[in-house]
Every structure is written in structure tokens, then in C-alpha cells.
């Protein structure tokens, strides 16, 4: 039995959570400036939902009515004309597990046994409703609170992806999501940074902020995108399924996502969810889960809805990959460019199957913004391959109490310098042993020359024994065999392997060397561009880089960075020495043939050469490589033991080829 005291405590906890989440909702929906990352929001929201369910008897209906779990906390702003929606624009209920999806299906089964599903990515943008009369766009409205939205027609007509006229002449209302492509978001933040303006938190808020600008010109400049996924009153347009709806929207020129799938069973849904987990990392728009919709429209009305969401669709959210733990220690490290990164050593915690003991804190500004310090209880996020990151305090601190700025390089003890923006700190000492070490590690890494026998451990061993100090020493290791043999752990065989793999660099494409050199701002992508222009390493020293200014890949900053790097005597000598030792690498011909032009390939199973061999072969002949099968895939190159990709390709009628077939296709 709960005492009155206990009940009051629980009620207070719930009211506090409601207030906290409502404030977050306001910042997110109405100010376009989120206060916490989505993951923290989800954790707290679910906590509130569970508490409200468990202790429902402690509250009257009236008391729960305004909880953020029951109503949409977005308001239509006064800046735009308010318009009432013809049909409410609802939200979606969420599922975090297959069990919850099963419950959603069980509910449908109560009214029919003849149904299927249509699955789509859940686009992380803001919803929009667009109305056409007699084939002309007449009005566009934001969701607002779901009942009343803002008239943003003037802005939406500036979006090049939205058709202003369509061939369909009936009155039509279509709904979808306005978003900012990740690449456009990055460009925008780069530009805002250059103009010393505040950067935007994420693509979703950037899109929301942009769509609700009063200056329509900005919409044009920022290149907002949209996907449409819903037709209001579909039956009136003779649309009987969600799949037909997708086709209808496509036919009339609306932008739609391609990552959609028809499904019959929970197993099909599970497979989509599994595949999309990887696929979502490769697409140029942000998603926050997948939407599973009942395909057959005729049952929608019968299924009905709550005030907040319909029963014909559900949003599946991937596990948030967030855990809580304590920061044991904060320390700074220095990278190959001298950039200082703050890191946290953590009380080890398991996040989606792996044990996490360290996380990044980015820069000092990040620590200050989140008010982080040693011994704090924090949320940690780990998603995909990304380094785990501390994303916030579990409960806020009232007073400012954060870790202090590091003033001196922890390795060479030189005074650190602030970047122009003040956001970053650098060690500017060229001779800093840590910068040298990091440069060597990068030189041999995958993004550099990819010398797989020269990992961090061997580099540290050679550094400690003064066998290497800069990249040229790596190519000279072949003259130090006797010294190498004296090292513990080094047998003749492993030394031979190291020397062979270093020698093999002679046959590598030029861009790998350019990227290996750690020229500031030149990563793999730009290294490929530079390589395609200079053609061989010796041209790096005499090429006129200023002529590249007309290419959009490259700007002033990048050109100046290359020019200043080359004009440093040490770097010049390094390049000359590399060339003299026989490593004057050349640009590979970009493409040998165009026999595979515009054909998309997926590779699976065990083949006669490493997968990278086939990837390069396909790309050199004009083909494209994708990691997962979709209806757009042209060929599946399948080796032995091919698994689910083969099954899927069969299902989608995709041509399956062997490596022999591939060789024939390119005339080998
Ligand atoms: S269908 C309930 N499909 O997610 C109305 N919604 O959290 C039917 N969203 O309000 C929505 N991608 O703004 C649907 N492929 C998709 C979506 C999607 C994103 C948004 C939509 C909705 C919100 C719910």
C-alpha cells in the first residue's frame, strides 16, 4: 500500500517530468532550437509514459489531459496566417520492439484477416500539407498543433522539388515531410560559420527554421527538399492501397522516397528494419525510424485513431543506443593536425552489445555548453561506427561547474592556440611528438597508404626504438633489417611482410599518397580530386593550384592550404625524397570503359578476389556499388555462401551474376 507521502512524491515526479518535456517540446517545435538530443528526449518521454500508465489511478483525467504524452505541443506561430486543416494532421504511435509491432498487427486482425503493409523510412523533417485545385498549387500549411497550421504557401512555392502545377485536375491534398538533405545542411553550417553566425543544431531544425522564415528568398538559397507520402481521403481519388498511393504521387511528379517496401508478414517487416539500419547511414537525409502502414485503405476509418495518432500506422524506432554512466576522468588529446580533442574516461557501460569505456567530448566549448565535469552522471550515445559521445547530463546542475580549459599541450607542453572561431584549440608546434606520431599512423592507415602491417602498435614500437620519425623513414625501413630483427616480438617473417607491404605502395593510386601526407583540409575525397588534376606525385610541387578555383569542389581556403603546405621546405623535401625512392605514384585512369555505366551492383558471398577488387573493377568500368539490394539494383554479384541478399535479389527479380559473368561483361 502506498502512503499519502509516497503518492505525493510520485505525482511530483510525474508533474516535473511533464513540465520538463513540455519545455523541451516548446524549444523543439516552436523555437526550432532543441534543448536536448532526440535520444535524451525519447528516454525521458518513455519514462513519463511508463510512469503515467503505472500510476494512472493517482491522477484525474483532467490532470493528464495536458501531458506531453497526450497532446502535440507545437503551436501555429503568429507570423503566418493560421489555417484549419481539413483533416487533422496526426502524429504516430511508436514501437521499440517487434512485440509492439505484433500488438499493432493484432489490433488490425480484430477487424480483418486480409491485409498487408507498406513500409517507408520515417523522415526527420517537418510535416506539410499541400493543396491543389484544378492542377494548381493553392496552399501549403504546416502541421501546427495538428488542427490548425501556418500558411507557408509563399515559401513552399520557392521549393524547386514541389510541383506548382500537376496533370491531375481534381481537388487534391497531399502530405509529406519537408527536410534539408544532410549535404545541404553541412553546406549551410559551413556558410553560417564563415559568416560568424550561429550554426544550426541538426538538419531537422534547420529545415523547420528555414520553412518558417518570412524571407522566401532564403528558401531558394538553402535548397529545402521534401518527400510526399500521403494523399488525404485516398478513396476519393480511387487509391486503394498505400502502395498505389506511392505510385500515384510519383506519377504526378511529387518527390517520394525510394526506400519503400510492400510486406506481408512480421518477418518481412523485421527484414526491412534490419536492412534499413545499415541503409539509413548511406542516404542523404536523416530518418528517425521506419513507418509501418496498413496497406489497404478501406480499413483506416474502421480502425480509427486516438487524439494523437491513427491506428493504421506505427513508427518503429531503433533502440536509442544511449546509456547512462559516470565520467571518471576528462583529458585532452592532440590529433595529426594539432587539433585538441577533449575525451572522457567512463565507468565502463554496455551500449548495444559493446563495452564503452571512453567517449569524446569534442572541444572545450562542448564541455562548457553541457556544463560537464569529472564524476558527473551522463548520457552516452553510440551509433554505428561513430565514436561514442557524451551527449548530456542526466540531471542538470544549477551552478556552472565544468572542467577547466586545457592551456598547454599535454605532449609537448607548448601553449595551445585558439582557432579563429574560438571553437577549437590547436597545438601549433610542428615538432610535437604526438602530432608526428598521429601523422605516421594516418600515413599508414586505410585513409592513407593502407599499409596494413603498420598499425598503431608497430608504429609505436618503431618510434620507441628510433627507427622512424617521419614518413620517409618508413620507406627506408628496408635498410634497417638488422635493427628490426633486434626488436622483441619481431620475427623474420613478420619483418618481411612489413617490408613487402611497404614496397607494394609503389602500385597504389596517387590519391592515397596525397591523402596520406596530412595536408590540412585534404581528406580522401579531395585527394581524389587533386590526383585527377595533377596526375603524378612530382606535379604536386609544380602544379598551379590557383587554376582550380573554378571547380566547386574546392575553394580559396583549400587551395591556400595546399600552396602553403608545399611551400614549407620540410614538406617539399619529403615529397622529393618519396619520389626519389621510387614512389612517384600516378593517378589511375578514372575509368577504363563505360560498359557498366549507370548500372548498379551489390556484391555478396565469397569471391575469388577480395571484395575491394571487384568494387574497383566495377567502378573503373563506370558501374556503381551499393551496399544493399533495392528495386533499383541492376545486378547482384554473388559468390559462394551468399545469404539474405541473394534471397532478396531473387524476390525482386534482380539479375544475379557470377564473377565470370562480370569479366565477360567488361570484355575480359
Ligand atoms: S505517415 C499520421 N509516413 O512522422 C499521419 N509520416 O511522428 C500519417 N513522418 O506526423 C503519417 N515520415 O510528419 C508518415 N513516411 C512517413 C513519415 C511520416 C515522417 C512524420 C509525420 C508524422 C510524424 C509522426
Give 310's strand partners: 305
Q: Which CATH class is domain 2-70?
A: mainly alpha
Point out the ligand 1 atom lying closest to the alpha carbon of residue 293: 1
The confidence score (pLDDT) of residue 474 equals 97
For residue 144, report the distance from its CA to the centre of ligand 1, in Å: 14
For residue 99, report the distance from its CA to the centre of ligand 1, in Å: 21
What architecture is domain 433-543+560-580? Orthogonal Bundle (1.10)
CA distance linking residue 652 with residue 630, whole number of Å = 8
The confidence score (pLDDT) of residue 343 equals 97
The confidence score (pLDDT) of residue 73 equals 64
Nearest CA, atom 23, ligand 1: 91
Nearest CA, atom 10, ligand 1: 91
Q: How many residues does the chain have?
A: 668
Of 145, 442, 535, 472, residue with least CA distance to 308: 145
Of 76, 96, 92, residue with least CA distance to 84: 76
Going by the annotation, the residues of the binding site for NAD(+) are 38-42, 91-92, 120, 143, 177, 293, 317
For residue 227, report the distance from its CA to the centre of ligand 1, in Å: 11
For residue 294, report the distance from its CA to the centre of ligand 1, in Å: 13
The confidence score (pLDDT) of residue 76 equals 57
Nearest CA, atom 21, ligand 1: 127
Q: How far is CA 22 from CA 15, 25, 207, 308, 393, in A?
A: 10, 5, 21, 15, 18
Alpha helices in 387-432 (DSSP H): none
Q: DSSP of 651-667, one letter per residue?
A: HTT-EEE-HHHHHHHTT
For residue 129, report the distance from its CA to the centre of ligand 1, in Å: 12
Ligand 1, pocket-test mutation among 122, 142, 242, most atoms within 8 A of CB: 122
> Where do the domains of the chain lie?
2-70, 93-317, 323-411, 433-543+560-580, 600-666
Ligand 1, pocket-test mutation among 95, 144, 177, most atoms within 8 A of CB: 177
| 3-class DSSP state of 508 | coil
Provide the b/e sequence for 2-22 (b: ≥16 CB within 10 Å). Answer: eeeeeeeebeeebeebbebbe
Nearest CA, atom 16, ligand 1: 122
Point out the ligand 1 atom lying closest to the alpha carbon of residue 257: 15
The confidence score (pLDDT) of residue 624 equals 83
Ligand 1, pocket-test mutation among 88, 92, 126, most atoms within 8 A of CB: 92
Give 262's strand partners: 118
For residue 122, report the distance from its CA to the centre of ligand 1, in Å: 6
Point out the ligand 1 atom lying closest to the alpha carbon of residue 310: 2
| Beta-carbon count within 10 A of 359 CB | 22
The confidence score (pLDDT) of residue 589 equals 57
Question: Tell me: domain 600-666, CATH 3.40.50.10190, correct?
Answer: yes
**Low-confidence stretches of the chain (pLDDT beneath 50):** none
CA distance linking residue 378 with residue 326, whole number of Å = 6
Nearest CA, atom 12, ligand 1: 122
Provide CATH code, domain 323-411: 2.40.50.140
Of 335, 347, 413, residue with least CA distance to 378: 347
For residue 303, report the distance from its CA to the centre of ligand 1, in Å: 17
Helix (H) or strand (E) holding 293: strand 287-294
Ligand 1, pocket-test mutation among 68, 118, 120, 127, most atoms within 8 A of CB: 127
Nearest CA, atom 22, ligand 1: 91
Ligand 1, pocket-test mutation among 88, 104, 123, most atoms within 8 A of CB: 123
Point out the ligand 1 atom lying closest to the alpha carbon of residue 92: 24
For residue 92, report the distance from its CA to the centre of ligand 1, in Å: 6
For residue 225, report the distance from its CA to the centre of ligand 1, in Å: 16
Going by the annotation, the residues of the binding site are 38-42, 91-92, 120, 143, 177, 293, 317, 409, 412, 427, 432
Which positions ≥6 away from 13 have C-beta within 8 Å? 51
Point out the ligand 1 atom lying closest to the alpha carbon of residue 89: 5
For residue 142, report the distance from its CA to the centre of ligand 1, in Å: 13
Provide CATH code, domain 93-317: 3.30.470.30
Q: Confirm whether 433-543+560-580 and 600-666 share one CATH topology.
A: no
Point out the ligand 1 atom lying closest to the alpha carbon of residue 230: 1
Residue 562 C-alpha cell reads as: 595546399
Phi then psi for 102, rounded to 5 degrees?
-60, -40
Ligand 1 lining (C-beta closer than 6 Å): 90-92, 120, 122-123, 127, 177, 229-230, 291, 310, 313, 315
- Going across the sheet that includes 225-231, the strands are 136-142, 126-133, 172-179, 225-231
The confidence score (pLDDT) of residue 287 equals 94
List the catalytic residues.
Answer: 122
Residue with cell 586545457: 406
| 3-class DSSP state of 366 | helix
The confidence score (pLDDT) of residue 527 equals 93
Going by the annotation, the residues of the binding site for Zn(2+) are 409, 412, 427, 432
The confidence score (pLDDT) of residue 189 equals 85
Point out the ligand 1 atom lying closest to the alpha carbon of residue 120: 15
Amino acid at each position: 500500500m502506498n502512503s499519502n507521502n509516497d503518492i505525493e512524491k510520485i505525482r511530483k515526479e510525474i508533474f516535473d517530468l511533464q513540465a520538463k518535456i513540455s519545455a523541451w517540446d516548446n524549444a523543439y517545435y516552436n523555437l526550432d532550437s532543441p534543448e536536448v538530443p532526440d535520444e535524451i528526449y525519447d528516454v525521458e518521454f518513455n519514462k513519463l509514459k511508463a510512469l503515467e500508465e503505472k500510476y494512472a489511478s493517482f491522477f484525474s483525467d483532467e490532470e493528464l489531459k495536458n501531458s506531453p504524452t497526450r497532446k502535440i505541443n507545437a503551436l501555429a506561430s503568429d507570423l503566418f496566417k493560421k489555417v484549419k486543416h481539413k483533416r487533422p494532421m496526426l502524429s504516430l504511435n511508436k514501437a521499440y520492439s517487434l512485440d509492439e509491432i505484433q500488438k499493432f498487427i493484432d489490433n488490425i486482425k480484430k477487424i480483418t484477416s486480409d491485409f498487408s503493409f507498406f513500409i517507408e523510412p520515417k523522415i526527420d523533417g517537418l510535416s506539410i500539407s499541400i493543396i491543389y485545385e484544378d492542377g494548381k498549387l493553392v496552399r501549403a500549411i504546416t502541421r501546427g498543433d495538428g488542427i490548425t497550421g501556418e500558411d507557408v504557401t509563399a515559401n513552399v512555392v520557392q521549393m524547386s522539388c514541389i510541383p506548382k502545377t500537376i496533370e491531375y485536375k481534381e481537388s487534391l491534398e497531399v502530405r509529406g515531410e519537408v527536410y534539408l538533405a544532410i549535404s545541404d545542411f553541412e553546406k549551410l553550417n559551413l556558410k553560417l560559420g564563415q559568416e560568424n553566425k550561429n550554426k544550426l543544431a541538426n538538419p531537422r531544425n534547420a529545415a523547420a527554421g528555414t520553412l518558417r522564415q518570412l524571407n522566401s528568398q532564403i528558401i531558394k538559397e538553402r535548397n529545402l527538399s521534401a518527400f510526399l507520402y500521403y494523399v488525404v481521403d485516398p478513396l476519393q481519388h480511387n487509391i486503394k492501397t498505400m502502395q498505389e498511393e506511392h505510385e500515384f504521387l510519383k506519377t504526378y511528379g511529387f518527390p517520394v522516397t525510394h526506400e519503400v517496401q510492400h510486406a506481408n508478414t512480421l518477418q518481412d517487416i523485421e527484414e526491412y528494419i534490419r536492412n534499413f539500419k545499415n541503409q539509413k547511414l548511406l542516404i542523404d537525409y536523416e530518418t528517425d525510424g521506419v513507418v509501418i502502414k496498413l496497406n489497404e485503405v478501406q480499413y483506416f476509418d474502421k480502425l480509427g485513431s486516438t487524439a494523437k495518432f491513427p491506428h493504421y500506422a506505427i513508427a518503429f524506432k531503433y533502440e536509442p543506443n544511449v546509456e547512462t554512466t559516470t565520467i571518471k576522468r576528462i583529458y585532452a588529446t592532440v590529433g595529426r593536425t594539432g587539433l585538441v580533442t577533449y575525451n572522457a574516461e567512463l565507468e565502463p557501460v554496455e551500449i548495444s552489445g559493446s563495452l564503452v569505456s571512453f567517449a569524446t567530448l569534442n572541444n572545450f566549448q562542448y564541455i562548457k555548453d553541457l556544463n560537464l565535469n569529472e564524476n558527473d552522471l551522463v548520457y552516452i550515445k553510440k551509433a554505428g561506427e561513430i565514436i561514442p559521445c557524451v551527449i548530456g547530463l542526466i540531471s542538470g546542475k544549477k551552478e556552472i561547474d565544468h572542467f577547466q580549459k586545457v592551456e598547454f599541450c599535454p605532449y609537448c607542453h607548448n601553449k595551445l592556440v585558439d582557432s579563429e572561431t574560438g571553437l577549437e584549440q590547436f597545438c601549433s608546434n610542428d615538432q610535437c611528438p604526438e602530432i608526428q606520431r598521429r601523422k605516421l599512423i594516418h600515413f599508414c592507415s586505410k585513409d592513407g597508404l593502407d599499409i596494413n602491417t603498420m598499425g598503431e602498435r608497430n608504429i609505436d614500437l618503431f618510434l620507441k626504438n628510433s627507427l622512424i620519425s617521419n614518413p620517409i623513414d618508413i620507406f627506408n625501413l628496408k635498410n634497417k633489417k638488422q635493427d628490426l630483427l633486434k626488436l622483441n616480438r619481431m620475427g623474420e617473417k613478420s619483418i618481411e611482410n612489413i617490408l613487402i607491404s611497404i614496397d607494394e605502395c609503389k602500385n597504389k593510386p596517387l590519391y592515397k599518397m596525397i591523402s596520406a601526407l596530412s595536408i590540412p583540409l585534404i581528406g580522401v575525397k579531395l585527394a581524389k580530386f587533386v590526383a585527377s588534376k595533377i596526375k603524378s606525385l612530382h606535379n604536386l610541387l609544380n602544379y598551379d593550384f590557383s587554376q582550380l578555383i573554378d571547380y566547386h569542389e574546392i575553394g580559396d581556403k583549400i587551395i591556400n592550404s595546399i600552396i602553403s603546405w608545399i611551400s614549407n621546405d620540410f614538406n617539399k623535401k619529403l615529397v622529393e625524397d618519396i619520389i626519389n625512392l621510387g614512389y612517384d605514384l600516378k593517378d589511375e585512369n578514372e575509368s577504363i570503359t563505360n560498359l557498366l555505366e549507370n548500372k548498379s551492383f551489390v556484391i555478396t558471398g565469397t569471391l575469388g578476389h577480395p571484395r575491394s577488387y571487384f568494387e574497383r573493377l566495377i567502378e573503373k568500368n563506370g558501374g556503381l556499388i551499393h551496399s544493399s539490394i533495392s528495386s533499383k539494383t541492376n545486378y547482384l554479384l554473388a559468390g559462394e555462401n551468399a545469404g539474405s541478399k541473394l534471397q532478396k535479389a531473387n524476390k525482386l527479380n534482380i539479375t544475379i551474376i557470377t564473377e565470370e559473368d562480370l569479366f565477360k561483361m567488361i570484355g575480359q
